[in-house]
Amino acid sequence: MPDFRSVFRSRLLALAVLLVPPALQAQEEVPFVTSPDNVTLEMLRVAGVGPADHVIDLGSGDGRIVILAAKRFGATGLGVEIVPELVQRSLENARNAGVADRVTFKVQDLFETDLSKATVVTMYLLPEVNLKLRPALLALTPGTRVVSHDWDMADWKPDQTTVVAVPDKKVGLEKSSKVHLWTVPAKVEGRWCGAGLLRGTSLALTQRHQEFEGTLVRGDRTRNVDGRIEGTTLRTSAASSGRAGELVLQVQGDRLRIVAAGGPLALAQGMSFVRANGSGC
């Protein structure tokens, strides 16, 4: 059985050699292959891109993702690309599309790019490149959306994956593309202490990317909780919500505010936990 990744890589490289003029073959690690229009559109659609967004495409090729984000969804954008000729082509494409005032393209190594202004990061790279970028992506502002064409990020599982038909796909074995979406989760691991009327209640959480589990303790009562973190919102799973009802918490700086609660905690809606200073409350 041929290994899918090596088949993908060798076909991608072969295609790049065939299609790309020699001057554009400077970067072999991730060759220039464009995302088809329907995949580009899906990447921006799943991320919910809108006029308030700043989209950064890492390895921006001919600029199509950032240009469509500006033209169709009113976003601003930055494309970083290692091949100067592709940056020139992107600038020209942006002018032709009438969005040159909202998008920028730079000849720059994607690993040296400041991502702090991004509300959406898009990538069509390779699995090992995604993995190398992962720590920087996880460190972005909670709520930042990350979209990757085809490749995922190992045990940081996507929040959502859609499959788009690409009948004339020239790389890989499938005639379709995957579009993966992640939302950068807030960092909530640790102990939180009830404040105000919640004094005496504590919440201890562990976190693996966008999944959390922990215990809520008040006096001699303990409730186990687990669930998912969507940006700054924590939502208990159906299993751990059980008869006690769903618990929804919102990270607000050093506070964790109960924004929705069922059962015995219903009266605690609007109350907060604060981060413990030491190990106890």
- Per-residue three-class SS string for 152-172: CECCECCCEEEEEECCCCCCC
Q: What stretches of the chain adopt beta strand conformation (E)?
A: 54-58, 76-81, 103-107, 120-123, 145-149, 160-165, 176-183, 190-194, 201-208, 211-218, 221-230, 233-236, 247-252, 255-261, 272-275
Residue 163 has φ and ψ, to the nearest 5°, of: -120, 130
Using the rule CB under 6 A, is 110 a contact of ligand SAM? Answer: yes
CB of 20 to ligand SAM, least distance (A): 9
Residue 128 has φ and ψ, to the nearest 5°, of: -70, -30
Using the rule CB under 6 A, is 29 a contact of ligand SAM? Answer: yes
Q: Are 81 and 65 in contact (CB under 8 A)?
A: no
CB of 177 to ligand SAM, least distance (A): 10
CB of 13 to ligand SAM, least distance (A): 11
Phi-psi region at 108: left, alpha or beta (left = phi > 0; alpha = psi -120 to 50): beta
Among 8, 9, 30, 56, binds ligand SAM (CB under 6 A): 30
Interface segment toward ligand SAM; rule CB under 6 A; list 109-117, 137-145, 232-240, 259-267: 109-117
CB atoms within 10 A of CB 21: 7
β-pairing, 54-58 vs 120-123, is: parallel
Using the rule CB under 6 A, is 105 a contact of ligand SAM? Answer: no
CB of 170 to ligand SAM, least distance (A): 12
The residue to which tokens 């600029």 are assigned: 63
Using the rule CB under 6 A, is 82 a contact of ligand SAM? Answer: yes
Separation between Cα atoms, residue 237 and residue 78, nearest integer Å:
37
Interface segment toward ligand SAM; rule CB under 6 A; list 105-113, 219-227, 238-246, 262-270: 105-113
Using the rule CB under 6 A, is 205 a contact of ligand SAM? Answer: no
Using the rule CB under 6 A, is 124 a contact of ligand SAM? Answer: yes
CB of 101 to ligand SAM, least distance (A): 21
Q: Are 79 and 103 in contact (CB under 8 A)?
A: yes
CB of 7 to ligand SAM, least distance (A): 16
Using the rule CB under 6 A, is 25 a contact of ligand SAM? Answer: no
Residue number, 42 or 57, with CB nearest to ligand SAM: 57
Residue number, 9 or 102, with CB nearest to ligand SAM: 9
Using the rule CB under 6 A, is 47 a contact of ligand SAM? Answer: no
Using the rule CB under 6 A, is 169 a contact of ligand SAM? Answer: no
Using the rule CB under 6 A, is 192 a contact of ligand SAM? Answer: no
Among 32, 73, 156, 273, binds ligand SAM (CB under 6 A): 32
DSSP H or E run through 60: none
CB of 175 to ligand SAM, least distance (A): 18
Residue number, 64 or 169, with CB nearest to ligand SAM: 64
- The amino acid at 142: P
* Distances from the Cα of 178 to the Cα of 39, 123, 148, angstroms: 8, 12, 8
β-pairing, 211-218 vs 221-230, is: antiparallel
The residues binding ligand SAM (CB under 6 A) are: 27, 29-30, 32-35, 57, 59-61, 64-65, 80-83, 86, 109-111, 124, 149
